[in-house]
């Protein structure tokens, strides 16, 4: 008799759905084999599945340890709708794929098991290409900063980004010179490629038009650069 959905949170309630999934794929399955929750064999191929009620670090560490024993390792947990689709969930899936650990989810309503992440070799070339743009953005931000103004690990504080540093430099120039045209600000040392965009976007509310192609500092801008 199938387990009631109400008791599916128990690890043993995951066994039946996972076993049925593997049997349908041609595996012979045994439970609790020398400390392994599920061992499946098909010809010369061996698969281990570890059952837990929550996808956590302990389960992932256990799965990685099992990789020394068999060809493929999966972890199986109940499907929890609130977790799926979150940023943390997406990162967990990426971690499992990178570790070459598969993931099986068991529905608490249908008791059906489905593979979400396959236990296959990780495509590092594809992963590198996907992260290339983020790497370039990191290095661009690093190069755009003039010093180490932020304390690593501190949250909910104003951060000095490369953009903010450039805006502060423009604000200081306007405080020193008074209203200026963009050309003059470039002559004074403002970033020639970014000054126009920073003034037009006025992200911080520090600048205002003072005439044709002429910009001045607002009271908010003066307060920002005040010693």
- Average pLDDT on 50-67 reads 94
Hey, which CATH number is domain 162-225, 3.40.50.920, 1.10.10.10, 3.40.50.1000, 1.20.1250.20?
A: 1.10.10.10
Say yes or no to pLDDT of 145 above 70.
no
Extract long-range pairs of 163-170: CB within 8 Å, 24+ residues apart: 163/198, 163/203, 164/204, 166/190, 166/191, 166/194, 166/195, 166/198, 167/198, 167/203, 167/204, 167/206, 168/224, 168/225, 170/195, 170/198, 170/199, 170/207
- Average pLDDT on 120-138 reads 69
Sequence ranges of the domains in the chain: 7-124, 162-225
- Distance between CA atoms of residues 18 and 40, nearest Å: 10
- Distance between CA atoms of residues 50 and 73, nearest Å: 8
Say yes or no to pLDDT of 164 above 90.
no
Which percentage of the chain shows pLDDT scores above 90? 56
Fold match between 7-124 and 162-225? no
Say yes or no to pLDDT of 222 above 70.
yes
- Distance between CA atoms of residues 216 and 204, nearest Å: 14
pLDDT of residue 5: 47
Say yes or no to pLDDT of 106 above 90.
yes
pTM, two decimals, is 0.61
- Distance between CA atoms of residues 62 and 38, nearest Å: 13
* Cross-strand partners of 41: 28, 46
CATH number given to 7-124? 3.40.1350.10
């Amino acid at each position: 008799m199938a387990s009631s959905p109400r008791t599916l949170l128990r690890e043993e309630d995951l066994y039946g759905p996972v076993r049925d999934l593997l049997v349908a794929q041609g595996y012979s399955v045994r439970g609790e084999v020398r400390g392994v929750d599920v061992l499946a064999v098909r010809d010369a191929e061996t698969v281990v599945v570890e059952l837990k009620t929550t996808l956590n670090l302990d389960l992932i560490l256990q799965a990685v340890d099992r990789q020394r024993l068999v060809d493929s390792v999966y972890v199986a947990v109940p499907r929890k709708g609130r977790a799926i689709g979150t940023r943390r969930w997406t990162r967990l899936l990426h971690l499992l794929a990178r570790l070459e650990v598969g993931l099986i989810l068991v529905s608490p309503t249908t008791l059906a098991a489905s593979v979400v992440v396959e236990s296959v070799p990780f495509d590092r070339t594809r992963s590198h290409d996907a992260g290339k743009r983020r790497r370039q953005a990191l290095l661009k931000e690093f190069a755009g900063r003039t010093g180490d103004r932020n304390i690593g690990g501190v949250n909910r504080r104003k951060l000095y980004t490369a953009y903010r540093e450039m805006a502060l430099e423009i604000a200081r120039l306007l405080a020193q010179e008074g209203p200026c045209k963009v050309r003059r600000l470039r002559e004074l040392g403002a970033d020639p490629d970014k000054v126009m965009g920073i003034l037009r976007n006025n992200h911080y509310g520090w600048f205002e038009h003072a005439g044709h192609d002429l910009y001045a500092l607002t009271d908010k801008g003066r307060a920002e650069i005040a010693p």
